[in-house]
A and B are shown apart, each in its own frame.
Chain A
């Protein structure tokens, strides 16, 4: 194996290894969703596919944006843009913990050398109206993944329940590569002149986006855009609504994702008071709920098609 493909030597190889591993488990290997999201869970392949009776297995990298976590590239551990590796299996297989541990082994974490632990951490996303029970997965005292059995998404009981795994890729890579600063990660596994580091790829972006998130983003416009996205989401849901079917959930859900990111930006700009915060979260949740309800009336959501009428 060349270093370029060694998950202990290169960031991209870590991703490739996980893709290969989960492909072998029958997951659809998807590409990132082409919108700004706060976490891999927002990808419609998780949020919407977790609803309804249809079986589903997918894995993908999702670039995730947390505007508030920007540190102008100066903090070795915090980023406003980072990668999550997301796996969803519905229904959750009986050996999901085992599969997870084997995936760690695949990327070079030998359970006979490390102390791997499942520590209670119940996951909740107020904006998505979602919650589940599970753990933070610890490797030698460091949280490397989140493991959740979804119980509810978009305010709707999951039936059947999906198992969701989220790996914090940078953190995991820092651990297996043995570096203390995220920007020092080897991205492509090469050395010398050919070496490309995480900093080479993302440092400038972190600096610029931190300025944007904290200083420049036009808060009045953001607030307007939020309203627009909210209204558009509702309008699209109305447009697609038929009696027992729905014809326009995914475009409507995009607007919900947009509203959520706009809220995060406003929050980073520090213009949202405590009470306003609650109301913004509530508004996004209402959109997510409406999209979830509509999803259940689609083919993907398991609604019976014209064929069986």
Chain B
């Protein structure tokens, strides 16, 4: 069966958009073909800096015919209805319709619309122009003479030519002819911009790929990526070095070359005094080059790898020299910054924080540091951190923001604080806290575990949250510009994974913010596989739900209880009691309290329940207080036989109104008893 080859050749497509664009092209074209009634065997798409290509394998030469029956009005219907039917079905005269008899409804007109399949090439020529015009680039542009007209074609960068060929192996493939804004499809493409710029004809996909390869273009992104990675590794290996792998950088440089050639450059050893993260950030951000380390060591080597797009006639000597020159200039800057930064003590930088606005309504970074410091001091005893050290770390935690290096590379904030602190011989915990108080940055980032770092990390995040809450800048829908969800998740992870128990409400968190924490906690626990109804049941009890660790323990205990028979039956008993109470309360418009009179309990089963209730409730509450939820649950579980027996033998709706009221109050007491651990009414199933 024939194949389709499509290539859209343009000026340089941003690296970050290429993969997505190849996918979008494939789905747009295949979806349109499927809509036209086609099936195909396979579709593959590709991207390089200058082209998007699509290969559809096994596409029939002819579009399948279609046959559709359109039901019309009954025979003898008003003319208007008949005209509408004819128009809709594309008929000119009623004689073209057939009449179908239905024993119940009478005679109807039916139009049979048969559509002859078109030659595939013309179907493709029909669908492609609108796909190209409506291509979902994240950013697109107009250019050239055509941009004087409204409705000009938009593309990511100027589009120069289109190859569109359809045909099988055995015959001469045909060009699928169409035109967009003066660009005519054809069978001509171009090779590498410098190494093989001449135009050439292509016949089909295999031919296209091999001619491109001969013209120094590797079509497949993954292949270019492999080539770069392998060349990089072997160049490193030959020097006794190891590539510091960097997936995002590799992906980016792959999108910057059609014919990758990896070259090694070096810089002066003296630059290795700069922290390795800074060397890496410098070389990566400015030069898009990889750094190397000595095999089996963490120390960087004074070498770097660049990915060029050229086979230069001097074997790359000029290219390496040029890149080395730029790297040297950048590292000179970085070294100068680093050395300048070391001359200023962190505490002497605090004054400068006064000129940095954190947020217009939340004051300067200096004011923020003040708040974080007081909060860190407050939290230190709770997380078993030395108060003095927590205070010191909090005071210094934002000082590196006004250092030269962080000004240049914001991504090393915190880390630089740690370096500066270590150099000025701060306590080790303080130094660690300067880096770790930013952690965790997301669900998979590591959490701080040194108590000083924990205190500052919690203070930093809680201050962020309470601050934005106070000015009513809460996340809405998909909008969370201040990453408040991440901050709340950070607090939750630090608390739970370090096993910290304290009441959030005692640290400036109001009920609205607490509800936000509860939402994030639900997401976190659900991801861990917890039942969300159990979380709701535990959170439904206001008392104690501001201590997140206890909330989790309660959920676990409740989950354990409900896997036992006692637990299941207790739940069943609760539901029965709750339903009876609900019905009666609704009927009478009152709500029953647990104020039953023990002297009015008549039958033995209700006497037993009354007695067990009072001490089980008491004990459960005690265990809740001492945070032993499993025991609290077990206490409640002991109610089960008494509850079962009660329902077995006792008629709640006794004739004597006093008796009836007292029994309902007894059930209310049971309902309340369960609330010592959870809101059983929220439990599903």
Contacts and interface: CB of A to CB of B under 8 A. Distances in A.
A112 B310 CA distance: 8
The DSSP consensus for interface residues of chain A is loop
Contacts of A111: 194
A142 B320 CA distance: 12
Given A94-B160, A133-B141, A161-B142, A139 B322 contact: yes
Interface residues of B, number: 47
Contacts of A77: 329, 333
B323 interface: yes
A120 B16 CA distance: 9
Given A94-B160, A140-B326, A180-B325, A160 B144 contact: yes
A92 interface: yes
Of B14, B142, B157, B333, which is in contact with the most chain A CB atoms at under 10 Å from its CB? B142
A161 B143 contact: yes
Interface in A57-111: 76-77, 91-94, 97, 111
A151 B357 CA distance: 33
Given A118-B11, A118-B12, A141-B287, A132 B141 contact: yes
Interface in B189-234: 194
A274 B288 CA distance: 31
A141 B289 contact: yes
B39 interface: no
A235 B319 CA distance: 54
Contact of B322 (A97, A119, A141, A275): A141
Given A133-B157, A135-B12, A112 B148 contact: no
User: Which among B146, B314, B318 has the greatest number of chain A C-beta atoms within 10 A?
Assistant: B318
A132 B142 CA distance: 10
A6 interface: no
Contacts of A161: 141-144, 147
A175 interface: yes
Given A118-B12, A141-B306, A149 B357 contact: no
B256 A149 contact: no
B144 A92 contact: yes
A120 to B, nearest CB: 4
A76 B318 CA distance: 22
A92 B160 CA distance: 13
A31 interface: no
Nearest to A97: B11
Contacts of B309: 115, 117
Interface in B140-198: 140-148, 150, 156-158, 160, 194
Contacts of B49: 118
B357 A273 contact: yes
Interface of B: 11-12, 14-16, 49, 139-148, 150, 156-158, 160, 194, 256, 287-289, 306, 308-310, 312-314, 318-319, 321-323, 325-329, 333, 355, 357, 360
Given A114-B312, A141-B287, A149-B141, 14 more contacts: A77-B329, A77-B333, A93-B144, A113-B319, A120-B12, A132-B141, A139-B322, A141-B288, A141-B322, A141-B326, A149-B143, A151-B142, A159-B150, A275-B357
Q: What 8 A-B pairs come out closest when comparing CB atoms?
A: A140-B322, A120-B14, A160-B148, A118-B12, A141-B323, A115-B308, A161-B147, A160-B147
16 contacts: A77-B333, A91-B144, A91-B145, A114-B322, A115-B310, A118-B49, A120-B15, A120-B16, A140-B321, A140-B325, A158-B142, A163-B143, A175-B325, A273-B355, A275-B357, A275-B360
